[in-house]
Chain A
Amino acid sequence: MDGADTLMATKALDDTLVTVDKVTRRFRISLWRRLMTVMAWIFVVSSFVFLAAMFLSIVGDVLVHAWPALNLKLLTDITNGIGGGLKNAIEGSIIMSLGALLLAAPIGISAGIYLSEHGQGGAGKILRFLSDVLVGVPSIVLGYVGYITMVIYLGWQFSVAAGVITLTVMLLPYIARSTELALGNIPLAVREAGYGLGAGEGRVALQILLPGAAPAIMTGLFYAVALSMGETAPLLYTAGWSNYMWTGHLTKEPIGYLTYVIWTFINEPFAESHMLAFAAAFLITAGVLILILLGRWFLVRGQRRTGAYQS
C-alpha cells in the first residue's frame, strides 16, 4: 500500500514538474541585447587593436625609414647643414638629460619625501595640488619662460645651462610624485620600528624609507630621463642648436640634441636630411622605450630580490 502510494505520489509530482516545465518558458535574451553585446565586444577589441596598430605603425614607420641610414657614421661624424652623422646631437641629448636628472633628482626626491611624510596637512595638500598643476603646464611655455629669463634677461644666450634648468623644472613634479607614491607604499609599521629604535626623522627617511622604496624611485627616475630625452619644445629656445661638439661651457654656447634634428631636417628638401631625421627619431624612440622597459624590469627585479612591502 505504502509503496504504491509513494509511487503514485512520485508520479504525480513528476507530472506536475513536467507540466510546470512546459508552462514556464526558458528565459531568453532578446535579439537586441545579444546584438548590442556582440557589437560592444567588437568595439572593445577593435579599440585595443587600433592602439596596438598605432604603436606598431609608429615604430615600424620610423624603423623602415631609418634602416638605410643606420651605420657607424652616425656615431662618429657630426652633423653639417643637411647631413653627416649625429655624434654631436647624441652627446647633447645625453648631457642635457643627465644634467637635468642631476638637478631634478635631489630636489624632486626630497619634495617627494616631504609630500609623503609631512604632506597630510594643508600645506602638503596645496603643494601636491600645485605640483599636479605644474605637470600640466605646456612644455613650450616652460621653454618660452626659459628664453625670456635665462637666455635674454640673464644673458646666457642659447646654452646648456638654460636648457638643463628648463628641463629640470619640467621633471620636478614627476619625480616628486613618483617618490611620494613609492614611499606611500611602505607601511607605517616600518617607520614606527625606526623611531622605536631611536632613529631621528632624517635617519628614518634616508636610511630606512629611501632604500625600501629605491626600486620604485629608480623607475620614476628612468621615466623622467626618458621624458626629458624626448622633449623638443622646451629646448628650442633655450638650448638652441649647434653643429659642433660641446666644448664644456655652461653658458653662451648652444648645444645640439636629437629631437631638434628630427623636426628641422625633415623640412629640408634633401633625401639625406630626411634619412638623418628618421635615424634620429629611431635613436630617440629606441632610447626612450628601452629606458622605460629597463625601469620596469628594475622595479620587478628589485622587488623580487629585496621583497616588496605589502600595502
Chain B
Amino acid sequence: MVESTNACGIIAMKIPAFRVALIATASFLPLSLLLLIVFLVLYSWPAIQFNQFDFLWTNDWNLGNLYGNPVSVHGQQIMPGARYGIWFLVVGTIVSSVLAMLIAMPIAIGSAYFLSEGVRKSWAGPLSLFVDLLAAVPSVVYGLWGYALLVPLFGQTIFPFMVKTFSFVPFLNGSAGSGYGLLTAAFVLAVMIIPLISATLREAIQMTEPALKEAGLSLGLNRLEVFWHITLPKLKTVLIGVGILALGRALGETMAVLMVSGNALNYLPNNIYAPISTMAAFIASQLDSALQDPTNMAVEALSEIALVLLLITIVVNITARLMLWMERIR
C-alpha cells in the first residue's frame, strides 16, 4: 500500500518534470533562430547606421585607404574613402538562384515522374539512390567538381559554342568569358537543388489520389498525359512551394558558388557568362581582407550582408513552408 502511493507520488512528480525538460530542450530551436537575428543586428548596428539604406542599391564596395587615419562619418569611425554598397551581390545572388531554378525545375519534374511512375517499383528503389545520394554530396565537392571539370569544359567548348549559336539572343551573346561565371554557378546550383525538388515532388506524386489518375486513364489519356493534365495541375501549390524552398537553398549556398562564380567585385554581369559573386560567397571570401580594417567597420558591414541574407532566406522559407503546409507536405 505504502509502496504504491510512493510510486504514484513519484509518477505525479515526474510527469511535469519530464514535460518541462522536453519543452526546455525543444525551445533551443526557436531560441537559436531568434538569437541569430539579435546577434547579427547588434553586431552590425554601427554599419547599419553608417550605410543607411544606400547599402542595398549602391554598387560600390570599397574598404577605403587602410593606411590612412580613421575619419568620423555619421558618428561612426571609418577609414577614409570607405564605402559599402552591395548591389552587385544582390543582383548576383538573385539572378544566379533564379537561373538555377529555371534549369532545375523541368529536370526535377521529369526525374520525379520517371522515378515515381515511369519505371516499375522494383527498379525505382535502386535508381532513386542516384538522386538521393546526389543530395548528400558535400557542397565543397560540388565546387571542386565545378572547378576541375565544368569550368574548363564550359569555358573552352560550350560557352564559345553557345555564343556563336545564340548570337542574336540578348544576354546569351557577347564575350564567352573564362568559364567562371553566372551560368556555371547556376548550373552547379541547379544540380544541387534538383534532388531536393525531385524528392519532395516524388512524395507528392505518390500522395495524389489514385481515383483521379484512374479517371484520366479511363478517358483515354495515356500515363504521361494524365501526369501533365491532371497530376501536375493538382500539385501546383506543392511545385511552387518546393521551388521557393530550393530557391532559398540556392540563395544561401556558399562553397560551390565561391569556387565557380569568378568572384566579381563591384561588377554587374552583362551576359550569362560574366563573372558574378553572391552574398554568401562574398562573406566567406572577404573576411580576411575585412579584418585589415582597424576601425572594424568592414567586418560589421559583412555582418550586415549576413543579416540581409538571413532575412531574405527567412522570408523565402516562410513563404515556401506556408505553401507546403497548405498541401500537407512535410
Chain A residues at the B interface, C-beta cutoff of 8 Å: 27, 33, 37, 40-41, 43-48, 50-52, 54-55, 57-58, 61-62, 65, 106-107, 110-111, 113-115, 117-118, 126-127, 129-145, 147-149, 169, 172-173, 176-177, 181, 200-202, 205, 223, 226-227, 229-233, 236-237, 259, 262-263, 266, 277-278, 281, 284-285, 288-289, 292
CB distance from A25 to the nearest CB of B (A): 15
> Once the chains are docked, how many angstroms separate the CA of A169 from the CA of B133?
24
Tell whether A259 pairs with B138 under 8 Å between CB atoms, given A44-B118, A202-B18.
Answer: yes
Given contacts A126-B30, A137-B310, 14 further A-B contacts (CB under 8 A): A47-B109, A48-B114, A51-B111, A113-B22, A114-B23, A129-B325, A144-B303, A172-B29, A259-B255, A277-B144, A281-B141, A284-B138, A289-B136, A292-B136
Question: Which residue of chain B lies nearest to A113 when distances are taken between CB atoms in the complex?
Answer: B22
A-B contact pairs, 11 of them (CB 8 A): A27-B220, A44-B113, A45-B118, A46-B110, A48-B110, A111-B22, A114-B26, A141-B280, A173-B29, A232-B138, A232-B139
The answer to whether A130 and B138 have CB atoms under 8 Å apart is no
- Say whether B261 faces chain A, with CB atoms less than 8 Å apart: no
> Once the chains are docked, how many angstroms separate the CA of A27 from the CA of B221?
13
| Contact partner, B33, options A43, A133, A237, A292, Cβ 8 Å | A133
Per-residue contact bits, chain B 131-160, to A (CB 8 Å; 1 contact, 0 not): 111101111111111011100000000000
Per-residue contact bits, chain B 224-259, to A (CB 8 Å; 1 contact, 0 not): 110010000000000000000100110111110011
The answer to whether A169 and B32 have CB atoms under 8 Å apart is yes
- Say whether B163 faces chain A, with CB atoms less than 8 Å apart: no
A141 to chain B: which residues have CB within 8 Å?
36, 40, 252, 280, 283, 306, 309-310, 313
B309 to chain A: which residues have CB within 8 Å?
138, 140-141
- Say whether B81 faces chain A, with CB atoms less than 8 Å apart: no
Tell whether A48 pairs with B25 under 8 Å between CB atoms, given A133-B33, A202-B14, A263-B258.
Answer: no
B57 to chain A: which residues have CB within 8 Å?
none
CB distance from B240 to the nearest CB of A (A): 16
A48 to chain B: which residues have CB within 8 Å?
110-111, 114-115, 118, 127, 130
Per-residue contact bits, chain B 23-52, to A (CB 8 Å; 1 contact, 0 not): 101111110110110011001000000000
- Say whether B179 faces chain A, with CB atoms less than 8 Å apart: no
- Say whether B204 faces chain A, with CB atoms less than 8 Å apart: no
The answer to whether A139 and B141 have CB atoms under 8 Å apart is no
- Say whether B210 faces chain A, with CB atoms less than 8 Å apart: no
A229 to chain B: which residues have CB within 8 Å?
138
> Once the chains are docked, how many angstroms separate the CA of A292 from the CA of B131?
13
CB distance from B188 to the nearest CB of A (A): 10
CB distance from A275 to the nearest CB of B (A): 12
The answer to whether A136 and B245 have CB atoms under 8 Å apart is yes
CB distance from A168 to the nearest CB of B (A): 9
The answer to whether A148 and B303 have CB atoms under 8 Å apart is yes
Interface size classification for chain B: 35 or more
The answer to whether B317 and A111 have CB atoms under 8 Å apart is no
Per-residue contact bits, chain B 301-330, to A (CB 8 Å; 1 contact, 0 not): 011001001100110111011000100001
Tell whether A115 pairs with B26 under 8 Å between CB atoms, given A48-B114, A201-B19, A262-B140.
Answer: yes
Tell whether A51 pairs with B137 under 8 Å between CB atoms, given A111-B29, A126-B30, A263-B143.
Answer: no
CB distance from A199 to the nearest CB of B (A): 9
| Contact partner, B224, options A44, A50, A126, A263, Cβ 8 Å | A44
Tell whether A129 pairs with B321 under 8 Å between CB atoms, given A137-B33, A205-B18.
Answer: yes
A232 to chain B: which residues have CB within 8 Å?
138-140, 254-255
B310 to chain A: which residues have CB within 8 Å?
137-138, 141
Interface centre among B18, B137, B321 (most CB of A within 10 A): B137
| Contact partner, B107, options A41, A47, A127, Cβ 8 Å | A47
